[in-house]
Amino acid sequence: LAKTTQPISMDSYEGQEVNITCSHNNIATNDYITWYQQFPSQGPRFIIQGYKTKVTNEVASLFIPADRKSSTLSLPRVSLSDTAVYYCLVGDSNDYKLSFGAGTTVTVRA
Amino acid sequence: DTGVSQDPRHKITKRGQNVTFRCDPISEHNRLYWYRQTLGQGPEFLTYFQNEAQLEKSRLLSDRFSAERPKGSFSTLEIQRTEQGDSAMYLCASSSTGVLSPLHFGNGTRLTVT
């Protein structure tokens, strides 16, 4: 399973774009990159998943360079409700022991 | 999609007592996972079921822990002779077996051992 490294915390203000970069130097050919969001006292919630280049949905964008050794989750125009912990995971469909790590705590201020 | 439900949401027990948690996954999901999360940490994998078969157990799952998934539907996680170190959030997740099959988590059971 590929190990991931992401910042412990990030601060932002309402209306700004937040970019969280995750490093995964030993990503395997079959691995996908998946991001989850977790609010206090709730289980993690799937945000976005990708394999290469760029993926966008109604919540976020995921940018993956050609070498796939890192990825960046982009949250456009954050609001106070985006304050949460964000986890980057790397694995394929048979990786059922996915490691969440400590994640990145994003704090959005007014 | 009614989501993954877990019961109870909170459990307070005295050290040495047994506790059992229940998880009802999304009905069409054949994969079910249990995770444990302590304050300030990400979820840690405990065990995994494919249908009714328990295919993997973490070394975190001591002999006091047992999980079942009869008939491949709901699952239970039992902790015997609870210890204060068992205090944590216990999360259940389910997924399908497709290539892009993210985990769908319940909101967990918060266990406090006094």
How many beta-carbon pairs below 8 A join chains A and B?
61
What is the rounded distance in angstroms from the CA atom of residue A32 to the CA atom of residue A30? 7
Tell me the per-residue pLDDT of A4-52, one tens digit each, with 9 for 90 and over: 999 999 999 999 999 999 999 999 998 999 999 999 999 999 999 999 9
A86 interface with B at CB cutoff 8 Å: no
What is the rounded distance in angstroms from the CA atom of residue A40 to the CA atom of residue A21? 22
Of the candidate ranges A28-32, B99-103, B105-109, the one whose mean pLDDT is the lowest: B99-103
A41 interface with B at CB cutoff 8 Å: yes
- Give the dihedral sign, CA A48/A51/A56/A60: positive
Which member of A34, A49, A101 has the closest CB to residue B42?
A101
Give mean pLDDT, residues A87-91: 93
Quick one: pLDDT band at residue A97, thresholds 50, 70, 90? confident
Which comes out higher in pLDDT, residue A94 or A8? A8
Backbone angles phi, psi at B18, to 5 degrees: -100, 145
Residues 50-79 of A with CB under 8 A from B: none
pLDDT of residue A15: 97
B39 interface with A at CB cutoff 8 Å: no
Mutant choice from B7, B36, B47, B99 vs A, greatest count of A C-beta within 10 A: B99
The answer to whether the Cβ–Cβ distance between A102 and B108 falls below 8 Å is no
In order of A23, A64, A101, B64, B90, the CA distances from B40 in angstroms are 21, 28, 10, 24, 14
Pick the residue from chain A with its C-alpha nearest to B102.
Answer: A46
Residues 59-88 of B with CB under 8 A from A: none
